[in-house]
Amino acid sequence: MNIQEFARHLNLSVATVSKAMNGRSDVSSATRARVLEAARQLGFTPDPAARRLRRQSSDTIGFVLSYPQSSFAHPFFLNMLTGVDEVFQETNYQVIIASARSFESEIDVFKRLVERQRVDGMLFGRTRRQDERIAYLMAAEVPFVAFGRSETAQPFSFVDIDHTLVGRVGCSRFISLGHRRIALVHGPEVFMFSHHERLGYEAALRAAGIAFDPALCIEAPMTEEGGVQAARALFDLADPPTAIVCGHDLVALGVIRGVAETGRVAGKDVGIIGGDDHPIGRYIQPALTTFSAETQRAGRRMAEMLLARLGGAAAEDLQEVWPPEIVLRASDGPPREVNRAAGR
C-alpha cells in the first residue's frame, strides 16, 4: 500500500496523512491518532522516495543560485552560503547547490530538486514580484525561506533588506547635496528589490518637490556592461543627470566607466551611489559610496528560519526586513558648480 492508497482508505487527503505521520501541529490530535492507529493495524510505512511532502526527511536542503548572478564565486551568494553552512554544519542536513542558466529555466531547477532529489527544504533569493518558484513550492508544500519579498497572496518566510531605503536615502542624499537631476539605474523591475528601489527613489523626489522624469529612471542588466550602457543613454540626454543612484554595485562600476567615457570624473562631475556593498567598491577610484548588505548574516538567519519551518513554525511568524545603512566613501558629492565654488 502506498500513501495514496492509505489516504483513500482513511478518506483523507495525502497532505493530511503526511502531516499526521510526521507530527505536524496543524493536524488535530484525533486525526493524528486515527492515522497512526490505522498505520499500525495495516503495517503501513510510507516510502520516503515516494513522498512529495517534505516532512519525511532526506537530510537535504536545496540552495539555488538565482539568475542572473548564478556564479558560485559571486560575493552575494558566496557570503550567503557561508552563513547557511554555519548553521547547517551543526545539524544532519547537507546542502545541495544548484544554479539556472536562464531566468526561464530556473523553475525547472526547483522541480528537479523537489521531485528528483527530494529535498526537505529550499533556500533562494532574487525574489520576483510574481514569482512562480514561490507558487510552485507552496503548492508542493515544501518548506522554504526566500531572500526577498514578493506580491504573492499567501504568506511565506523571508529575510529581506529594505531596498526602498536604497532608492529613498540615496536620492535624498544627493538632494541634500544640491543635485536636482538625479537618475536611478536599477535592475529589471520584475525583481521585487528593484521595484522597491524605484518606489523609494520616487518618494524622495516627491518629498523634495522634484518632478519624476522617466528618462532618468533606467532598468539595466545587473552587470558592469549594463551600467555602461545605462550611463551612455543618460549622457546622451539633452539635460543629463548630475547624480546617479545605482541599485547594484556592479552596475555602479559600469556607470563609473561610462561617466569616464564622457570626460567627466565620478565623484566630482557626477555623483554616484551603489546599492549592495560589493567588496571591490572600496578599492576603486573613487571609492564607492553604497549601502550595507549583510548577506552572510542573512544566510545564517534564513537557515535558522528554515529549521524552524521544518519544525512546524508558521511561515507568517518568520518574516524579517532589515534596514541597510549608507556607507559613505568618495563617489558621491555635490554638483560640479558647487565643487568649483569650493575650489575642488
Looking at the fold, whether 69 and 82 belong to one and the same domain comes out as: yes
Q: Strands 144-147, 121-125: parallel, antiparallel or unpaired by DSSP?
A: parallel
Looking at the fold, whether 185 and 243 belong to one and the same domain comes out as: yes
Output phi, psi for 65, to 5 deg. -80, 110
Looking at the fold, whether 112 and 232 belong to one and the same domain comes out as: no
Q: Would residue 53 count as lying in a domain?
A: no
**Which tens digit of pLDDT belongs to each residue from 144-165?**
999 999 998 789 999 999 999 9
Looking at the fold, whether 184 and 333 belong to one and the same domain comes out as: yes
**Mean pLDDT of the region 179-208:** 98
User: What is the total count of domains within the chain?
Assistant: 3
Looking at the fold, whether 117 and 186 belong to one and the same domain comes out as: no
Looking at the fold, whether 288 and 200 belong to one and the same domain comes out as: yes
Looking at the fold, whether 169 and 131 belong to one and the same domain comes out as: no
Looking at the fold, whether 109 and 247 belong to one and the same domain comes out as: no
What confidence score (pLDDT) does residue 270 get? Answer: 98
Residue-range definition of the domain harbouring residue 106: 60-161+295-324
- Lowest average pLDDT, out of 180-184, 224-228, 310-314, goes to 310-314
Residue 148 is part of a domain; what is its CATH number? 3.40.50.2300
Q: Would residue 52 count as lying in a domain?
A: no
Q: Would residue 212 count as lying in a domain?
A: yes
Looking at the fold, whether 264 and 131 belong to one and the same domain comes out as: no
- Say how far apart CA 318 and CA 314 lie, in whole Å: 7
What confidence score (pLDDT) does residue 52 get? Answer: 41
Q: Would residue 139 count as lying in a domain?
A: yes
Question: Whole-model pTM?
Answer: 0.81
